[in-house]
């Protein structure tokens, strides 16, 4: 260990101790009114970005790692914590997976299953690739697991890729069948860089993207490059294609409604370079709420599915949410696909994953604090849906048939006092005209997630009512309420 690394290690330990002493939450509180029923959240303390997700096709478990401060309920010394689920709903906490060391704290990253031991750690070993952040910069390191992702051993040669700029982070790695090598995509300030490797240990720069595309209101984070199949072969840019590539890119600040959000780009990947089909000044948003960030997909998802999850919060107020023993939760899992809108543009469809749709229980006339609501709204007239409680707190959702928009107003939803940025009115375009719009709402203790017809748009917003919404009023359509079969 060098003198510099010794200093950094001692500094990290001091930071952990100070954080632990100054921001230690109550450990035995049982009254957590905003603890979600069917969303993943840490058992206690702080959580942000989901990391390193992969599906194990031997144990049939979904692995979810996440940014975690084990010493307090606000952002602090970052670790990877770990949870597993057989169904994307019931999560078992597994504790800390990767902890800080002399190189730095453990920031966001990804994990892959190294089928053929390209890295030399053994066949079918899980390899995590993550950013380590220290005073002098950000670098990429790896660790490997020979027990299916339960425990990790850090590679002795870390870091495997040294940063040359500030904000050099959040590696997403995948195996590229076109070139038979690994590809890493990194967020580098306000663009992304692509690197390649044959062994996950030595990386070569390939190309960059984004300097003149998309939103640039803040730093780019948590990128993900995904191959998406088309329903049938189509003529695209003068040649037949059966797939396109989508680059997910999270930005903070600079979101459509302030703070953090997820944008995306549709194009093609030739093994070296990403070419975007969108106009440079066009920004496409994956979610039209305030609370959907750090969206990334699972590696090795079954049946060639593209399954994503996001952090359900916003950096404008994430540290101040009115929970007690824990802070933050993730969105429900979502399956992604491609569709064409009425203008002929490619867009990403966002559907609740089938596992989440399966929790829809019996139809009921009583609106509980956790429910699924299916709306049928007349596409030729305006519609208003109001969720409310006995305290007069309410969330108002509106479909504007003339403007072809769906909106959600949470300005009177409950507690908004913890941040001047929380009260908000968010709006999504209706990209496809329908005579009848079929909208699905997932309601949990502190969240509302809305999905448009066939997943053509999504909207995710937190709410903190003093008591559950127990009444729904629908004008311009009808609603069916289902309890949660958890």
Q: Residues 31, 49, 101, 454: which is the catalytic one?
A: 49
Q: Is the pLDDT at 22 greater than 60, yes or no?
A: no
Please write the tens of the pLDDT for every residue from 45-65: 999 999 999 999 999 999 999
The whole-angstrom separation of Cα 78 and Cα 442 is 30
Mean local confidence (pLDDT), 414-440: 98
332 shares a domain with 206:
yes
What was the pLDDT predicted at 337?
98
Among 318, 346, 374, give the residue marking a domain's end: 346
Count CA within 13 A, CB hemisphere, residue 445. Answer: 16
pLDDT at 430 over 60: yes
Q: Average pLDDT of 265-277?
A: 97
Q: Give the tens place of pLDDT for each residue, 208-221.
A: 999 999 999 999 99
27 inside domain: no
Any domain includes 31: no
Is the pLDDT assigned to residue 31 strictly greater than 80?
Answer: no
Same domain, 81 and 7: yes
The reply to whether 422 falls in a domain is yes
* pLDDT over 70 at 362, yes or no: yes
pLDDT higher than 90, residue 427: yes
Q: What is the pLDDT of residues 94-146, one digit of tens each?
A: 999 999 999 999 999 999 999 999 999 999 999 999 999 998 899 999 999 99
Closest to 336 in 3D by CA, of 451, 417, 428 = 451
Residue finishing a domain among 346, 376, 395 = 346
191 and 259 co-located in one domain: yes
Say what the pTM is: 0.94
pLDDT of residue 267: 97
Pairing of strands 239-252, 219-236: antiparallel
283/338 Cα distance (integer angstroms): 16
Give me the pLDDT at residue 6, please.
36
| CATH number assigned to the domain comprising residue 381 | 2.60.120.560
Assigned token pair, 176: 């590229």
Q: What local confidence, expressed as pLDDT, does residue 217 receive?
A: 96
Can you tell me the mean pLDDT for 39-45? 97
Question: Are residues 378 and 232 part of one domain?
Answer: no
Q: Is residue 183 part of a domain?
A: yes
Q: Which residue has the higher pLDDT, 455 or 7?
A: 455
Entry field: residues in the chain: 486
160 pLDDT band, cuts 50/70/90, is very high
pLDDT tens for 372-406 read: 999 999 999 999 999 999 999 999 999 999 999 99
What CATH code is carried by the domain that includes residue 190? 2.115.10.20
Q: How would DSSP label each residue in 290-328?
A: SS-EEEEE-BT-GGG--EEEEE---TTTGGG-S-SSEE-
Does residue 436 sit in the same domain as residue 340?
Answer: no
Q: Are residues 54 and 130 in the same domain?
A: yes
Rounded mean pLDDT of the chain?
Answer: 93
Same domain, 208 and 122: yes
Residue 322 has pLDDT above 80, yes or no: yes
Q: Do 339 and 364 fall within a single domain?
A: no
Tell me the residue range of the domain where 478 lies.
Answer: 359-484
pLDDT, one tens digit per residue, over 251-262 is 999 999 999 999
136 and 159 assigned to the same domain: yes
Tokens of 86: 């057989």
Q: Is residue 87 a part of any domain in this protein?
A: yes
pLDDT above 80 for 10: no
Q: Please say which residue of 304, 319, 346 terminates a domain.
A: 346
The residue among 172, 107, 113, 99 whose CA lies nearest residue 133 is 107
Domain tally for the chain? 2
Hey, what are 397's tokens?
Answer: 């959702």
As a whole-number percent, the residues of the chain with pLDDT over 70 amount to 94
Q: Is 473 a catalytic residue?
A: no
Residues 211 and 330 in one domain: yes
pLDDT at 18: 38
């Amino acid at each position: 260990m060098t003198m510099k690394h010794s200093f950094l290690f001692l500094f990290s330990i001091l930071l952990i101790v100070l954080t632990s002493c100054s921001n230690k939450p109550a450990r035995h509180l049982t009254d957590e009114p905003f603890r979600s029923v069917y969303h993943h959240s840490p058992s206690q303390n702080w959580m942000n970005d989901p990391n390193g997700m992969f599906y194990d096709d031997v144990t049939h478990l979904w692995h979810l790692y996440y940014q975690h401060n084990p010493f307090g309920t606000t952002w602090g010394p970052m670790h990877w914590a770990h949870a597993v689920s057989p169904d994307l709903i019931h999560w078992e906490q597994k504790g800390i997976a990767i902890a800080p060391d002399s190189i730095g704290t453990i920031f966001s990253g990804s994990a892959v299953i190294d089928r053929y031991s390209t890295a030399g750690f053994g066949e079918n070993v899980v390899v995590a690739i993550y950013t380590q952040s220290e005073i002098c910069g950000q670098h990429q390191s790896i660790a490997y697991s020979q027990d299916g992702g339960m425990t990790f051993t850090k590679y002795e040669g870390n870091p495997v890729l040294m940063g040359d700029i500030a904000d050099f982070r959040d590696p997403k790695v995948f195996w590229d069948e076109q070139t038979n090598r690994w590809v890493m995509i990194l967020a580098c300030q306000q663009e992304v860089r692509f690197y390649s490797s044959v062994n996950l240990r030595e990386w070569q720069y390939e190309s960059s993207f984004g300097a003149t595309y998309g939103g640039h209101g803040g730093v780019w984070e948590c990128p993900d490059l995904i191959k998406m199949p088309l329903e049938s072969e189509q003529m695209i840019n003068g040649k037949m294609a059966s797939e396109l590539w989508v680059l997910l890119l999270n930005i903070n600040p600079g979101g459509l409604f302030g703070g953090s959000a997820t944008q995306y780009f549709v194009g093609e990947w030739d093994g070296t370079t990403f070419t975007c089909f969108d106009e440079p000044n066009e920004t496409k948003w994956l979610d039209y709420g305030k609370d959907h960030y750090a969206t990334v997909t699972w590696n090795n998802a079954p049946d060639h599915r593209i399954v994503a999850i996001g952090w359900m919060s916003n950096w404008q107020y994430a540290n101040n949410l009115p929970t007690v023993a824990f802070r933050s939760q993730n969105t429900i899992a979502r399956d992604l696909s491609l569709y064409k809108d009425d203008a002929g543009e490619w867009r990403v469809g966002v559907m609740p994953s089938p596992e989440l749709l399966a929790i829809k229980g019996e139809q009921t006339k009583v609106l509980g604090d956790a429910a699924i609501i299916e709306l049928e709204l007349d596409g030729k007239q305006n519609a208003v849906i109001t969720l409310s409680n006995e305290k007069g707190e309410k969330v108002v959702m509106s479909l504007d048939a003339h403007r072809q928009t769906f909106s959600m107003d949470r300005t009177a939803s409950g507690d908004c006092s913890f941040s001047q940025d929380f009260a908000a009115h968010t709006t999504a375009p209706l990209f496809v005209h329908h005579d009848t719009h079929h909208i699905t709402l997932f309601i949990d203790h502190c969240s509302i997630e809305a999905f448009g017809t066939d997943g053509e748009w999504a909207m995710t917003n937190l709410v903190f009512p003093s008591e559950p919404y127990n009444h729904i009023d629908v004008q311009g359509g009808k609603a069916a309420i289902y309890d949660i079969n958890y």
